[in-house]
Amino acid sequence: MARLQDAKDEVIHLRSAGVDLGKRFLLACVRAPSTKRAGSWSLETERFGTTTAEVRRLLAWLVERQVEVVVMEATSDYWRPVYYLLQPHLNLMLVNPAHLKGIRGRKTDPSDAAFLARAGASGMVMASFVPRRDIRELRDLTRRRTELARAAGWEAQRLEKELEDTGMKLSSVLSDVTGASGRAILGALIDGERDPARLADLAVGRARNKIPELIEALDGEFTGHHAFMVRHYLDEIDRWKTIIETFDTRVATLLTERERDLANLATIPGIGRLAGEIIVAETGGDMAQFPSAHRLASWIGVCPGQNESAGVNRSGRTRPGNKNLKRLLGIAAMVAIRKKDSYLGVFFRRLAARRGGKRALVAVMHKLAIAIWHVLHDKAPYRELGADHFTRRDPERAMRRMVKEANSLGLTVRFEPIMV
């Protein structure tokens, strides 16, 4: 088991503190040089409540002992009020519990606090990124909006299940049963119309090309109970959408000074206005927190992992990261690779041929994370490299590939420069 050494030359902070958090109380431990024995350390542990008054008492207790650094784990959401009150006054480090999970000794609350104090004194922990208050509020809004959109999607799925109970296969013909055509047909069904031909004739736009399929799909038994349930699901979907609109307005108000960043982010393939708002909310929009583009990709969790032991490289899976941005980049990558005459589309196909589609998709997510960092850092729009980027970068390799393919077909190829 790894152990922290108490040698003086390995200590970065002489006076450190660790805070072990709980819902009802917390334990704080201060580690300082012993006044009785040179070269040794003394530990002072105190118990505090988690109310605001008790946290203020903790602050006074730590300030009185002149601690240079305070380390606390991000335990559930219990860290929030403690961190927000202590952070303006102390050198506070919020650390990921997973980073310290494998090097603990005996597990008790006092020993946890003492361990955090030793870890802070030796500098073996890395502080997590905690954004400013305005960004935290923006995060709350965008994350809740995502949950509301997911809830509206669940109601649409329940609506489709109810239609399956009627024997109607409307969702097999229409990609969105809550769209204009689906709404018109469902509204007529609720009002009592049962003729499949008349129902299918209510389709609008491109859905009118599917009228024969709709007539066949609308042949089923739609009862009064189904009408009641379908009306309920439609009302629930509308209610969620109304709430989402209020969140959209609130988010837009908080991002009025970020319009330039949002416009630049929208130039990245697969990234729209909604995705841009989530990116700004999760990263803070300030790349000063991330020294390089690769640090941002590592924080999101879309960079290659490393797992080497005894000179053997094992499976290097992507590390855990910001799940909100990772999910967003996955969706953006699937949209970006659809455009075949783009750099990302060509990059995906080249890599997928050798490494498989899943690994290639993660590589595209990595490329998007790099692009996000440069767009926000340089305050400039995305620059499309073009589908011929790899050919221009290494024309001889492209020529060798074409010769190899021609030879496999029993042909020969001769290259001559174009005379201008």
Tens of pLDDT along the chain (420 residues)?
333 344 444 677 888 888 888 888 888 888 888 777 777 788 888 888 889 999 899 899 988 888 888 888 887 888 888 888 888 888 888 887 777 765 555 577 777 777 887 877 777 777 778 888 889 999 999 999 999 999 999 999 999 999 999 888 888 888 888 889 999 999 999 998 888 899 898 988 888 898 999 998 888 898 999 999 999 999 999 999 999 999 999 999 999 989 999 999 999 999 999 999 999 999 988 888 888 999 999 889 888 766 666 666 666 677 788 889 999 999 999 999 998 888 899 899 988 988 888 889 999 999 999 999 999 999 999 998 888 887 778 777 877 888 888 888 887 877 777 765
Amino acid in the structure at residue 329 = L
Scan for tokens 């922290």, then name that residue: 4
Output the pLDDT for position 121. 78
Query: pLDDT tens across 326-345, in order?
Result: 999 999 999 999 988 888 99
Task: Give me the DSSP letters along 251-304.
Answer: HHHHTGGGHHHHHHHTTSTT--HHHHHHHHHHHTT-GGGSSSHHHHHHHHT-S-
Query: pLDDT tens across 373-419, in order?
Result: 999 999 999 998 888 887 778 777 877 888 888 888 887 877 777 76
- Within a 10 A sphere around the Cβ of 54, how many other Cβ atoms? 15
Q: What phi and psi, each to the nearest 5 degrees, are found at residue 271?
A: -105, 120
| Calpha distance 53→55 (Å, rounded) | 5
β-partners of residue 16 are 31, 69
Q: What phi and psi, each to the nearest 5 degrees, are found at residue 401?
A: -65, -40
Question: Does CATH place domain 134-254 in 1.10.287?
Answer: yes
CB 65 within 8 A of CB 32: yes
Query: pLDDT tens across 185-223, in order?
Result: 999 999 988 888 998 989 888 888 989 999 988 888 989
CB 265 within 8 A of CB 238: no
State how far Cα 262 lies from the chain centre. Answer: 17
Instruction: Give me the CATH topology for the region 8-122.
Output: Nucleotidyltransferase; domain 5 (3.30.420)
Comparing CA positions, the residue from 43, 63, 66, 179 lying closest to residue 113 is 43
| Calpha distance 402→391 (Å, rounded) | 11
Phi-psi region of 356 (alpha: psi -120 to 50; beta: other; left: phi over 0): left
| Helix or strand run (H / E) with residue 72 | strand 69-73
3-state secondary structure 90-143: CCEEEECHHHCHHHCCCCCHHHHHHHHHHHHHHCCCCCCCCCCHHHHHHHHHHH
DSSP classification of residue 382:
-
Residue extent(s) of CATH 1.10.287 domains in the chain: 134-254
Angle between helices 133-166 and 224-254 (to 10 degrees): 160
| Calpha distance 363→186 (Å, rounded) | 43
Cα atoms in the Cβ-side hemisphere of radius 13 Å centred on 85: 18
Comparing CA positions, the residue from 382, 379, 130, 136 lying closest to residue 259 is 379
Q: Is 409 helix (H, G, I), strand (E, B) or coil?
A: coil
Across 59-97, b (16+ Cβ under 10 Å) vs e yields bebbeeeebebbbbbbbeebbeebbebbeeebbbbbbee
Q: Is 191 helix (H, G, I), strand (E, B) or coil?
A: helix
Q: Which residues, including other chains, have CB under 8 Å from residue 336's CB and lie 6 or more apart?
A: 269, 270, 342, 344, 345, 364, 368
Residue extent(s) of CATH 3.30.420.10 domains in the chain: 8-122
